[in-house]
Amino acid sequence: MLRIDIISAVPGLLESPLRQSIPKRATDKQLAEIHIHNLHDYGLGKYRQIDDYPFGGGAGMVLMAEPLSMVIEKLQSERKYDEVIYTSPDGEPFQQGIANTLSLKENIIIICGHYKGIDQRIRDMYVTREISLGDFVLSGGEIAAAAITDAVVRLLPGVLGNEESALSDSFQDGLLAPPLYTRPEVFKDRKVPEILMSGDHKKIEAWRLEQSMERTLKLRPDLYKKLDNDI
């Protein structure tokens, strides 16, 4: 079973997305455990302080080393973790291949960045991997942590109703997914492509591959170029 522990200064941001849909199905089936830890529970002093001004001056606040260290070391005293991930704008871009790799782990910690970030010493001492959703800044790492968790747990065997579903998602083979259609057959004079109604599975798969390649070339030429180079 995969266990994911998420450390957050604003845990309420994670409650809803990780208690619904696929993550909920994964936990209900006991295929994954998702635990959200409130960093304020480890805060310092009467007011449970978790942040302070940066040395050297500058705008914004920084998550302090002590509270983060306490929760990380508490978790590490209870089990061995394969990865301690920090969600950061300067981390490696999150891609499907990373999700695939993380889905094979047993225990993962995700630290949600907040304010201007976290004390560098936590990154140096504990973090094994830094991950970014893209070249933009969020108010905190909770959205990134929820996205990573969702992408990972849906890959666990038994979570999805159809085991092949995750394997046919966009990016699994380096291509975007082909266009999809469902009933009715005709909608506002637009008809489902005849090939999908033919029942010829070999021709349907060939059509879907062709469509995937065309869509990838048109919408994500960077992916198509990478695929072409790999070939």
Residue 225's pLDDT is what?
Answer: 87
What is the amino acid identity at position 18?
Answer: L
* Range with the poorest average pLDDT among 162-171, 173-182, 215-224: 162-171
Q: How far apart are CA 92 and CA 171, in angstroms?
A: 17
* Residue 202: φ, ψ to 5°: -65, -45
The two tokens of residue 118 are 């976290």
Distances 105 to 6, 86, 102, 167 between C-alpha atoms, Å = 15, 16, 5, 18
Residue 161's pLDDT is what?
Answer: 74
Sequence ranges of the domains in the chain: 2-153, 172-230
54-109: per-residue pLDDT in tens? 999 988 999 999 999 999 999 999 999 999 999 998 999 999 999 999 999 999 99
CATH of domain 2-153: 3.40.1280.10
The strands making up 2-8's β-sheet, listed across from edge to edge, are 32-38, 2-8, 107-112, 83-93, 129-132
- Alpha-helical regions (H) of the chain: 12-18, 21-28, 65-78, 96-102, 120-125, 142-153, 194-197, 201-219, 221-230
Residue 231 pLDDT class (50, 70, 90 cuts): low
Report the b/e string of 208-223 with b at 16+ CB within 10 A: beebbbebbbeebeeb
Average pLDDT over residues 215-230: 86
* Total residue length of the chain: 231
Q: How far apart are CA 206 and CA 171, in angstroms?
A: 18
Q: How far apart are CA 113 and CA 121, in angstroms?
A: 14
Domain at 172-230, CATH homologous superfamily = tRNA(m1g37)methyltransferase, domain 2 (1.10.1270.20)
Q: CA nearest 145: which of 156, 157, 158, 131?
A: 131
Residue 147's pLDDT is what?
Answer: 97
pTM: 0.88
**CA atoms lying within 13 Å on the CB side of residue 214:** 8
